[in-house]
Amino acid sequence: MLPATIGIISLIHGIDMTKPAKIKLTGLLRWIIPLFVLGAAWVYSTASQLNDAYVNDVNIEDLIDAESLECLDCHSAIRYNLENPYTGEVVSMKMYEELRIDPMEYASSTHGSFACTDCHSFEYEIHPHPIEAKFDYEYTCLDCHSAGEQFAQFNFHTIEDEFMRSVHAPEHIEDFSCWSCHNPHTYKLTTREWGSVIDIVAHNNAMCLGCHGDISHYEVLIERQLTNMLSKHEWLPNQSLHFRKVRCIDCHAAVNEDILIPHDVLPADEAVRNCVDCHSTNSILLATLYKHQVVERRNRFGFFNAEITSEAYIIGANRNYYFNVISLVIFGLVLLGIAIHASLRYINYRKRKKMKASS
């Protein structure tokens, strides 16, 4: 930390701190600032060490029940041992990526408090798992989330109706379900709880690119050549900025006022392609990406869509009422100035013409 601190002090003072004999004491403030920076760096370093120590001290046995830990002995490993119950022979086998679960991610997820058998058949308690277990009923979201006041705010029935109308519906893509996008072992609420819109965008777009950007996942669900997302969106100005600031579903899903996240994913030819749909004071982003932040249409400083302004500047959507008035006044004054200037030049021209005629 000392070399970094010397560098910071050198930058502030504009001097070579490796030659302290040349330092001139010109004021107490010139030393208070570097010492403050040094103290802040020490506090940050200490806090990071304490946080690392806390994470390392967390015992996974305190977060996950013993029964589920038995499942994770295999399902959190890259390879697992499988014993033949008849011969006692043991073989090492690969645990495929889609079956691997990070214990810490599971413990911190929305479903982390559940035991494995709350959702999976008790037949999975047998090792190796009997083939009959694979044919058991697989629970869907509505099996748990269809009733109860605590789930009313999420409108799961509306979400299911939207999903069944979308291009992701089982009638279009066999075996596509809620779990295809929302991993039940790692899923966390984001839009309602995460503060940063940038993080929400990155998290949501990662779901889409999990299939649309990965040929191995895409081919499992649909027998079609993977589309190149960059060439498909080459019409979009400043493409990379849009990908970082806007979710795929903000353009590719129908807006529904009753739910926070739209699930009616539209065919590609019905996606939003009109710039004005977003870049205007009634931007559709207010009903999609920024819906959870919409509280007022204009704040006391006169900005339209102030909730967007706090996260990003979107041309056309972040206009300021007072700036609009001022710009119109300035434009009017410019036109008035041009008119006066032209009038004076014309009057002067007429005077000169009369003087030449009289002479």
- According to the model, what pLDDT value does residue 83 have? 85
| Cβ density class 305-326: b for 16+ within 10 Å, e for less | bbbbbebbebeebbbbeeeeee
How many Å apart are CA 135 and CA 174, to the nearest integer?
17
- According to the model, what pLDDT value does residue 325 have? 79
**How distant, in Å, are the alpha carbons of 63, 64, 137 from that of 105?**
11, 11, 25
- From first to last of the 359 residues of the chain, give the pLDDT tens digit: 444 444 444 444 444 444 444 444 455 555 565 566 566 656 555 555 544 444 455 677 788 888 889 899 999 999 999 888 788 899 999 998 888 999 999 998 988 888 998 888 888 888 788 888 888 888 888 888 877 777 777 888 888 999 999 999 887 887 888 888 888 898 887 766 656 778 888 888 888 888 888 887 887 787 777 888 888 898 888 888 888 888 898 889 988 877 878 899 999 889 988 888 888 766 777 766 666 555 444 444 444 455 555 455 555 555 666 777 788 899 999 999 999 999 998 888 888 878 877 76
**Residue among 252, 182, 186, 180 at smallest CA distance from 220:** 180
- HEC secondary structure over 161-229: HHHHHCCCCCCCCCCCCHHHCCCCCCCCCCCCCCCCHHHHHHHHHHHHHHHHCCHHHHHHHCCCCCCCH
Tell me how crowded residue 216 is: count the other CB atoms within 10 A of its CB: 9
- According to the model, what pLDDT value does residue 192 have? 62
- According to the model, what pLDDT value does residue 94 have? 93
Say if CB 315 and CB 279 are below 8 A apart: yes
Question: With the C-alpha atoms ordered 288, 291, 297, 303, is the resulting torsion angle positive or negative?
Answer: negative
Q: Which two tokens stand for residue 225?
A: 């050549």
How many Å apart are CA 220 and CA 217, to the nearest integer?
5
At 296, the amino acid letter reads E
Please tell me the pTM assigned to this model.
0.58
- According to the model, what pLDDT value does residue 255 have? 85
Q: What angle do the packed helices 29-57 and 2-13 form, to 10 degrees?
A: 150
**Residue among 216, 139, 221 at smallest CA distance from 180:** 221
Report angle CA 147, 150, 154 to the nearest 5 degrees. Answer: 80
Say if CB 214 and CB 252 are below 8 A apart: no
Count of residues making up the chain = 359
- According to the model, what pLDDT value does residue 149 have? 77
- According to the model, what pLDDT value does residue 324 have? 72
Q: What is the DSSP string of 43-108?
A: HHHHHHHHHHHHHHH--GGGTS-HHHHHHHHHHTSSEEEEE-TTT--EEEEE--GGG---HHHHHT
